[in-house]
Amino acid sequence: MRTVSTSLITQTVEQLCIEACYKIGDDVKILLQKARDEEESPLGKWILQQFLDNMHISREEQLPLCQDTGMAVVFIELGREVHVTGGSLEDAVNEGVCRGYEKGYLRKSVLDPLTRKNTGDNTPAVIHLEMTEGDRIKITAAPKGFGSENMSRLAMLKPADGADGIKKFVLDTVVRAGANPCPPIIVGIGIGGTMEKAAYLAKKSLLREAGKPHPDKDIAALEQELLNKINETGIGPQGMGGRTTALAVHVETYPTHIAGLPVAVNIQCHAARHASAVI
Amino acid sequence: MIKKITSPATTEEILKLSAGDMVELSGILLTGRDAAHKRMVEYLYKGIPLPFDIKNQSIYYTGPCPAPPGRIIGSCGPTTSFRMDGYTPLLLDLGLKIMIGKGQRSPEVVEAIVRNQAVYLAAAGGAGALIARCVKKAEVLAFEDLGPEAVYRLEVEKFPLIVAIDSRGSSIFESGPAQFRI
Ligand code: SF4
């Protein structure tokens, strides 16, 4: 057994929240550069260039990439041989979110869903805990803006709907979202499991390096086909027309019940923020 | 070509803008999003005068991040405009001329834009740090208790924008994608 103190977890979450909001990954940057070079719409090109400039300014001047610094989604992969000391893991994560949002001058956007009263410190986080092998903890902070989260959808399709039904639902979701999720987007799709499992898979797929195909060839082919179809809609950067509607499509699957076909589509804007650390 | 415009703008300037134009705006903007809109409209229904005049003004839908020490403002990109749609026709009828945000608007808003010879401009959603650089001055104008949703008066320089819905009601969200749909 290896012991890890909750204060180290708090510290790590604090740093990861700030890092995720200031410094977008090179994977997204490379996809945006490629999109800018290939975009046929002059307006689209201009917008994509603004996103690249924005990334540069955000990194350089330590300003959040986007003012919607989101709700903090925190993924924890906890090794079986880790013993957490000093309090509850959940409290430690929330304390890290609270400190990170304060110290990083990030916007506090979390409130009670009914009274709409702001909690004041962007807590609580949405925490996903998974047990893994080993004696380490991997923490990933993925702040999620709601312009894109609001455009996400879930459907309990019929088995007879099959792959065609899935494709139709995904495309319909992207078209309905239009300009709202700040395209170009990354589309995270979870297929199978139960209702909540599909949603979780869709969200988790967004942590993958942007544009990296799924290791399974058939799933990778589905991703590519969906990406092409999405980019044929012409929605384009910011919904103003162009070739670049999505930068990538990520699909994750899980076995499901004989009677069902859950599909969740989690839309991620180009501000695809996540930062990880292993402690 | 990028057109230069100033805010407040004259009707003449606004009429010259067409959907899809790239513009750089300099001048004065008022900020306001969900909570500020709700309150403005509540005031108007109750007959309470607004603490600022919106006639001929420009509203920017944004809820900035807190300003780090030594900075004028934190990241301040646009928020989704359609959430303001229910309140917007009334404000346009009171003389609001320019709206800045992101995403489509309702048919009622488009009608009110045409009726009042106004214009809706779109900023690049997610370009908060870039836009913060265009802000030269920021001060709270009203509704301070609303925190990031308070109404600020901003002085901006060369704010990059796109004419999304022009004074004739043409929308780039319709004409743009149609041109590239396969
Ligand atoms: S959808 Fe994304 S890029 Fe757009 S405002 Fe929200 S967080 Fe920012």
Supply the pLDDT for residue B149. 87
Q: What share of chain B is helix, strand, coil (3-state, %, to 5)?
A: 30, 30, 40
Test B64 with A62 for CB contact under 8 angstroms. Answer: no
- DSSP of B43-110, one letter per residue? HHHHTPPPSS--TT-EEE---PPPPPTT-S-------BGGGGTTTHHHHHHTT--EEEEBS---HHHH
* Catalytic site positions of B: 37
Report the nearest atom of ligand 1 relative to the CA of A269: 2
Q: How many CB atoms lie within 10 A of CB B72?
A: 16
Each residue of A75-102: pLDDT tens digit?
999 999 999 999 999 999 999 999 999 9
Q: How many CB atoms lie within 10 A of CB B22?
A: 15
CA of B125 to the centre of ligand 1 (A): 6
Our answer on whether the CB atom of A177 is closer than 6 Å to any ligand 1 atom is no
Give the dihedral sign, CA B92/B94/B98/B102: negative
The helix-helix angle for A217-231 and A162-177 (nearest 10°) equals 40
Supply the pLDDT for residue B146. 87
Q: Measured between beta carbons, which residues in chain B are less than 8 angstroms from residue A229? A: none
Task: Name which of B46, B9, B1 is nearest B26 in CA terms.
Answer: B9
Compute the distance between CA of residue A143 and CA of residue A18 in angstroms, rounded to an integer.
10
Task: Name which of B51, B162, B12, B172 is nearest B105 in CA terms.
Answer: B172
Each residue of A125-142: pLDDT tens digit?
999 999 999 999 999 999
Supply the pLDDT for residue B128. 96
Supply the pLDDT for residue A196. 98
Do residues A247 and A187 lie in contact, with contact meaning Cβ atoms separated by under 8 Å? no
Q: What is the pLDDT along chain A (279 residues), one digit of tens a residue?
A: 899 999 999 999 999 999 999 988 999 999 999 999 999 999 999 999 999 999 999 999 999 999 999 999 999 999 999 999 999 999 999 999 999 999 999 999 999 999 988 999 999 999 999 999 999 999 999 999 999 999 999 999 999 999 999 999 999 999 999 999 999 999 999 999 999 999 999 999 999 999 999 999 999 999 999 999 999 999 999 999 999 999 999 999 999 999 999 999 999 999 999 999 999
Cα pseudo-dihedral B46, B50, B51, B53, rounded to 10: -170
Mark the ranges of chain B whose per-residue pLDDT is less than 70.
none
Q: Which residue ranges make up each domain of chain B?
A: 4-178
CA of A100 to the centre of ligand 1 (A): 19
Our answer on whether the CB atom of A148 is closer than 6 Å to any ligand 1 atom is yes
Q: How many CB atoms lie within 10 A of CB B38?
A: 16
For the segment(s) B4-178, the CATH number from 3.40.630.30, 3.20.130.10, 1.20.1250.20, 3.50.50.60 is 3.20.130.10
Q: Are strands B135-142 and B151-165 parallel, antiparallel or unpaired?
A: antiparallel
CA of B39 to the centre of ligand 1 (A): 25
Helix (H) or strand (E) holding A186: strand A185-193
Indicate the SS3 state at residue A20. helix
Q: Measured between beta carbons, which residues in chain B are less than 8 angstroms from residue A271? A: 126
